[in-house]
Chains A and B, each alone.
Chain A
Amino acid sequence: MSLDYACCVGSIGYEGRSTFVPRVMHGRRVPLLLAAFAENRELAFDAGLTFATGANASVFEPHDAQASSYSNWLFARLLDATSDGHSRLCIDVSSMTRSRVAETLEVLEFIAAERGHVYCDFTYAPARYKPPPEETETLIETVGPVSSSFAGWSPRIEVPTVVLFGLGYEHERAVGVSEYLDALDAWAFVPTGEEASYERDVRARNSLLWDLLGDARFVPYVVADPRDSLLRIEGLATRLRPSSRLVLIPFGPKLFALLCMLVARRSQSEIAVWRATAGSGTEPHVVIPSGKIVTFATSVDEAGNWQTEDGLGQVPRSEARAALAALG
């Protein structure tokens, strides 16, 4: 398989999996653009930074007084990377924050406006199963649109707000946000297919929501099948849109957050995408990749229209295993 990526965009974070896909790409001599975070620079962070240095990656350092914003940095680097006509990018969302995913999409749209068309293979490395943390009630520090361009806009304020959640380990956060928005109704997407224990744990962490909504409002989606998952989200959103103002709130896997943002974009930005994060209340914890890499191929044109594509195929297991071994 030829992996002809102009570059790979990823993160350097406390999660071990943050550099998993970049390591695979580095093995193919794909240039790396890796963005560090200002907080939680512990656990696997230093090892990630060391890898980035050794791989000659271009690194965004928020602590750098000379640095402009992540968006400006990424835009400049991608403009450079695509200057020779290369228009296929690898974007690893595994350890991105939801805000970073949003910013990345916005930058990709600007690049497409410059270059005419950009192909983006998004990758996601599921984590090895771990039981949920013990903390229960935590302050939700930030609740609101994931960025201003994902606030959505519908002048039909007379129709009620309906929320579509993606669920994860966030304890009863979905219920809290639903109450915050005074949503008339809610649906919840539940990640399946990776690990039966994970599904069970997600249900237990959201038992209030389950009790409130009933089984019929829970839609399973397979993390490893993003194309089908996108269709499920978009299908439900299309059905609900005529009679409601939709807000998508993706907890759980970042891949689901990406899919929600793409659905929002494909709705001519009528649909909003929100986040509700605990911020400083959350302790960093060890996150090891399972070894799988999920790939989702898309493209965006100069008018900002997103489409699914066939892409370059999945990452061979041998390469994933080698990168996993390198992570130690």
Chain B
Amino acid sequence: MLETPSLEAWSGDEASRYRQRVDYSAVFIPTDRNWDRQLASIGAVVLTEQQRALVQDAIFTSHVLWSLVAAMEYRVARRADGTRPHRPVELSRDAEGDLARELAYAWRLELRISSLASVRMALRRRMLELQQLATKEQLLSAEGRGDRIADAPGIGLNYQDAAAVGIEYFNDLSEEPQGRWALMFDELEFAPERIREQLIASLRSTDARFLFKLSLAPHTTGTPLLGDLMGAMSGHDFITIPLFYGRKEEGFDFARRLADGLLARQEVAYDAEHFLGRRSLGAEPQNEERMPTNSGTVRRRLKALEKKDSTFAKYLAERDLTPDSLVRTTANERASELRKILPLVAVRNEFLRSADARGVRRVRALQSPTVYSGDVAVFAMLESNPRNLTGVLTRLVSADPTVPAPPARQVAEVRKVQNRFRALLSTVPTSDIPGRRTSTRGLLSVVDAIGEFMQQEVLLTEFSADPPGTFVLDSAIDDGLLESLGVALNAGAIVYVPEEGQEPVPNRLRGNKYRLSYLFSPRYGLPIRLGRERHLSGILATPSPSPPDQERLDLGVE
């Protein structure tokens, strides 16, 4: 979004303001899992580790410089309509040619034509040639290999030094001697570890022309988390911007604006609040405005549970409360009490059957439990994730844009996201947990263990206004499981919940508080709220429910 093409394409209300605020040139440098595996495979058969590192670093440097040149090209490009809203540079063809030749000289490239496009092509060729070099070595003898690699073009060129030279040339030509460039590295957890360490160390760079924007998963094996490393200090050398929300409300503003914008572009007559509905029974209302206004309906729900669930009746009696008194109250304390228990009442009403003759409560399996519909619930379950929000809303609009989305359809679409997510989690192994089939189900076993424990506490024990809903990674968790939970954190299966005063991104895994993603709430019948914390080791030590209670599990499956 910060790149020049994106800023120029943006036509929203605030586009102009942000184009002015972004007073640097952004260079987007992507990585991904596919590329990571490809890079790792280069020279895997015959090169030594050191030789592979040289080749991989040279490829990475070429990749950074390619992205830099692409950003330069865009700045000097001429638009057909003559307009260039963001940081355009006028460069004659001769000047561009001079720049291209200087870059080629500094970066040891062979140019066919003196132009920035030719520089970019030469860098692309270099990446291919380096890979071919490594492949050819499989057919050549080891003798002389070290020299052949060391002599290859691009070997030993450091990306930051090379980029600094390039920026200096460009800034000189564009008469912006202090022009700033933001190197934006995406998904750095997929870059080789030594490159990650170099980049993180760059946060203490003294070259004022560089800004670094690093997108990084919170847990990265082998690299200290941001809070720990190399003396860089959060708030001084870098600012952390979390893209996840421990507390669901923190993401709502963004989610709502995204949703409203998408609906408007699709010419839907409703905004998100009306398309999805205000009524999210399964989610704790975030403020008084969001409390249900129909006291009759609330009273009916409270009475329904009081009748069905003797432990809820007991809870009310012990506090000298009745459904009527709770609803009538204007006292702050009682209103707060009501707000806290409403989502618990909703899920227990939805999922619990009345107790049988032996007093045993059982749980219903529901296809699309509608307590999880409504704007707040949908935003929370999708963790305000733009990709998931866009996907779900697009499908809901495609189904019928003329009416508000039916609750059952909303929940069905969110469940599809959940199922896809579970399919992703099946790629993550984990160490053994007694009583769980971790060897065959991996991380899903851990997620289910936590979910089933919470389900037990929320639905099947005595009614409590504050059942467990979060967990701490305590010292009894072994390192293998901890590593898997780090992967779960990166994937979003568990979400960090910082305490007041804590860094927004965890600087270590142990000792911190987490919750399951709200995406799993329909599956286990959980309210969308934080809750009391428990130690994870205690949760995992709780036996898995026995087969006759199987219907308690997988409440939202097909």
Are A180's CB and B427's CB within 8 A?
A: yes
Return the contact of B45 from the options A148, A152, A179, A208 (Cβ within 8 A): A148
Contact of A137 among B32, B67, B426 (CB under 8 A): B426
Most buried by A among B32, B40, B427: B427
B301 at the interface (CB under 8 A from A): no
Of B271-279, B340-348, B434-442, the one with at least 4 CB within 8 A of chain A: B434-442
Which residues of chain A are within 8 angstroms of B423 by Cβ–Cβ distance? Answer: 172-173, 175-176, 179, 208
Question: Does A151 lie within 8 Å of B441, measured CB to CB?
Answer: no
Of the candidates B34, B41, B421, B444, the one whose C-beta lies within 8 Å of that of A148 is: B41
B127 touches A155 (CB 8 A): yes
A-B contact pairs, 9 of them (CB 8 A): A139-B442, A155-B59, A157-B30, A157-B32, A175-B420, A176-B424, A176-B427, A182-B32, A182-B33
For the complex, give the distance between the alpha carbons of A100 and B42 in Å: 20
For A157, the chain B residues whose CB sits under 8 A away are 30-32, 35, 63
- Interface pair B444/A212, CB less than 8 Å apart: no
Chain B 27-52 near chain A by CB (<8 Å), digits 1 or 0? 00011111101101110110000000
If A139-B442, A211-B416, A212-B416 touch, whether A180 touches B31 (CB-CB below 8 Å) is no
Q: Bound state CA distance, A211 and B558, in angstroms?
A: 14
B440 — nearest CB in chain A belongs to which residue?
Answer: A281
Other 17 A-B pairs with CB < 8 A, given A143-B427, A158-B70, A180-B33: A139-B426, A139-B441, A149-B45, A151-B38, A151-B40, A151-B42, A153-B131, A176-B427, A179-B424, A181-B32, A182-B32, A208-B419, A208-B420, A208-B423, A212-B416, A272-B34, A280-B440
Bound state CA distance, A144 and B372, in angstroms? Answer: 36
Given A138-B440, A155-B128, A281-B439, A212-B420 contact (CB < 8 Å): yes
* Bound form: Cα–Cα A276–B427 in Å: 8
Q: What's the Cα separation between A113 and B438 when bound, in Å?
A: 46
Tell which of A135, A156, A278 touches B124, judged by Cβ atoms closer than 8 Å.
A156
Q: Say whether B32 contacts A161, CB under 8 Å.
A: yes
Tell me whether A310 is interfacial, beta carbon within 8 Å.
no
Contacts known (A138-B440, A276-B427); A151 close to B63, Cβ less than 8 A:
no
Chain B stretch 98-130: residues in CB contact (< 8 A) with chain A: 124, 127-128
Would you give the 0/1 interface string for A166-178, flagging 1 where the beta carbon is closer than 8 Å to chain B?
0000001101110
Is B308's CB within 8 Å of the partner chain A? no
Q: Which residue in chain A gives the minimum CB-CB distance to B134?
A: A153
Please determine whether B441 and A137 come into contact, CB atoms closer than 8 angstroms.
yes
Distance to closest chain B CB from A307 (angstroms): 21
Contacts A140-B426, A281-B440 given: A151-B128 contact, CB under 8 Å? Answer: no
User: In the complex where A137-B444, A148-B44 touch, is A272 in contact with B32 (Cβ < 8 A)?
Assistant: no
Q: Which residues of A contact B131 (CB under 8 A)?
A: 153, 155
> Is A17's CB within 8 Å of the partner chain B?
no
Give, as a whole number of angstroms, the nearest-CB distance from A136 to chain B: 10
**A141 at the A/B interface (Cβ < 8 Å)?**
yes
Give which listed residue, A177, A180, A212, A272, contacts B38 with CB less than 8 A. A272
Q: How far apart are the CA atoms of A280 and B441 in the complex, in Å?
A: 11
Residues in chain B within 8 A of chain A (CB atoms): 30-35, 37-38, 40-42, 44-45, 59, 62-63, 66-67, 70, 124, 127-128, 131, 139, 416, 419-429, 438-442, 444
Cross-interface CB contact of A179 among B42, B420, B441, cutoff 8 Å: B420
Is B427 a contact partner of A247 (Cβ separation < 8 A)?
no
Q: How far is the CA of A135 from the CA of B426 in the complex (A)?
A: 13
Residue in A139, A145, A173, A281 with the greatest tally of chain B CB atoms within 10 Å: A139
Out of B42, B67, B427, B428, name the residue touching A177 (CB < 8 Å).
B427
C-beta contact mask, A226-244 vs B, less than 8 Å → 1, else 0? 0000000000000000000
Q: Is the interface of B mostly helix, strand, loop or mixed?
A: helix
Of the residues A138, A175, A182, contact of B441 by C-beta under 8 Å = A138
> Which of B31, B124, B429 sits near A155, CB closer than 8 Å?
B124
Bound complex: CA A173 to CA B419 (Å): 11
Pick the contact of A153: B38, B422, B425, B442 (CB < 8 A). B38
Chain A residues near B128 (CB, 8 Å)? 153, 155
Is the CB–CB distance between B37 and A144 below 8 Å? Answer: yes
Q: Which residues of A sit under 8 angstroms from B66, Cβ to Cβ?
A: 155
What's the nearest-Cβ distance from chain B to residue A327, in Å?
30
Most buried by A among B33, B38, B67, B424: B38
Most chain B beta-carbon neighbours within 10 Å: one of A137, A179, A182, A247: A137
Complex interface: chain A residues within 8 A of B33 (CB)? 180-182
| Residue of B with least CB distance to A207 | B558
Min distance, Cβ B183 to any Cβ of chain A, angstroms = 15
A168 to B424, CA, bound (A): 18
Q: How far is the CA of A73 from the CA of B131 in the complex (A)?
A: 28
A179 touches B421 (CB 8 A): yes
Docked pose: A144 CA to B63 CA in angstroms? 22
Nearest 6 pairs of A and B residues by beta carbon: A176-B423, A151-B41, A155-B127, A139-B442, A179-B424, A281-B440
Q: Give B128's nearest chain A residue, CB to CB.
A: A155
- Does A292 touch B at the CB level, under 8 Å? no
Q: How far is the CB of A321 from chain B (nearest CB, A)?
A: 39
CA distance A199 to B485 in the complex (A): 37
Report yes or no: A145 in contact with B429, Cβ–Cβ below 8 A.
no
Kindly state whether residue A245 has any CB partner on chain B within 8 Å: yes
Cα of A256 to Cα of B423 in the assembled complex, Å? 23
- CB–CB B429/A141 < 8 A: yes
- Complex Cα distance, B63 from A173, in Å, reads 32
A154 to B30, CA, bound (A): 13
B440 touches A139 (CB 8 A): yes
The residue among B34, B40, B439 with the most chain A CB atoms within 10 A of its own CB is B34
| Separation of A158 and B30 alpha carbons in the complex (Å) | 7
